[in-house]
Each structure stands twice: as C-alpha cells, then as structure tokens.
Copies of this chain bind each other. A is one copy, B any other.
Amino acid sequence: MKRLSIVSCSCALLIAALPVLASDQDVIQYREAIMNTLNEQSAALGQMASGVVPDDSLVTDMNILALTASTALKAFQAKVPGGKAKPDVWANWADFSKRMNEFAQMTAAGAKVAKEQGKDAALVQLINYADACKGCHDMYRQNAKGED
C-alpha cells in the first residue's frame, strides 16, 4: 500500500508540468476543500471558545482560519456553479468578493489580536467571525440538507 501511494504521487508529479485545465468537478472539489477547512477550524474554535476542550491551540487555529480565508476568494474565481455555491456568487460577484476579502482581513486581524491580547480578546473576534460566516452563507450557500 505504501508503494501505491508513492506511485500515485509520482504520477501526479509527471502531469504537474502540464498546463492547468481544471474540469468543473475539480474546481468544485477544490473550493469545497477550502470551505470545509474553514468549517472544521470554526468547529474547533467554537469548542475552545465554549470551553468544552482545552484552548492550547487557539492562536494556531485562528492563524489556520486566517490563512485559509486568504485563499478562499481565489477558489471561487472560476465561474463554475455547483456544490453548495448558489449562482448568486457570480451574479453578485462584487458583493461576494467584498465579503470574502473582508473576512480574510478580519481573520488576519483576529489572529493577531488573539496572539497579542489573549483569549478574552480572541473571543470577541470569534463572535464577529460567526456573524460574517452566517451573513455570507445566508446569501450564497445552498442549504440542501437544512444546514446553516
């Protein structure tokens, strides 16, 4: 099995020099990986904020969230509706990209605050994150499974 994983990676290496021709499915999978990362890190931060798990990694997780947020808009730049993204993402691109850029700035600033000022200050930032996430999801994310 070890060999298999190396072989599959080596094949990846061989085709990596080719021009990028992203299929629609690739584009959707990639942006879902980015948004799922935000979702998982938000869940971890939510648990730390509510005190149900230790908060040792709070600053690191806020950095992870900020770094991921910095890549998120680019993941939507190819105009490929599908997955959970509503077509409104591209119909209202100016608003969507403004929100995404603001979220990247907010989370970068929040991670800095958490590092410099500690947990209480970080929690205030996290409330702002949750509000920004919710506002954007309400506008631009399908809720096929009744999720928020």
Contacts and interface: CB of A to CB of B under 8 A. Distances in A.
Nearest to A124: B13
A106 B109 CA distance: 28
Interface in A54-108: 54-57, 60-61, 63-64, 67-68, 70-71, 74-75
Interface size class of A (residues with CB under 8 A): 35 or more
Given A29-B43, A67-B64, A49 B1 contact: no
Given A63-B67, A71-B57, A119-B16, A130 B52 contact: no
Of the listed residues A11, A16, A54, A55, the one surrounded by the most CB atoms of chain B closer than 10 A to its CB is A16
Given A64-B68, A127-B6, A44 B51 contact: no
Contact of A37 (B40, B127, B148): B40
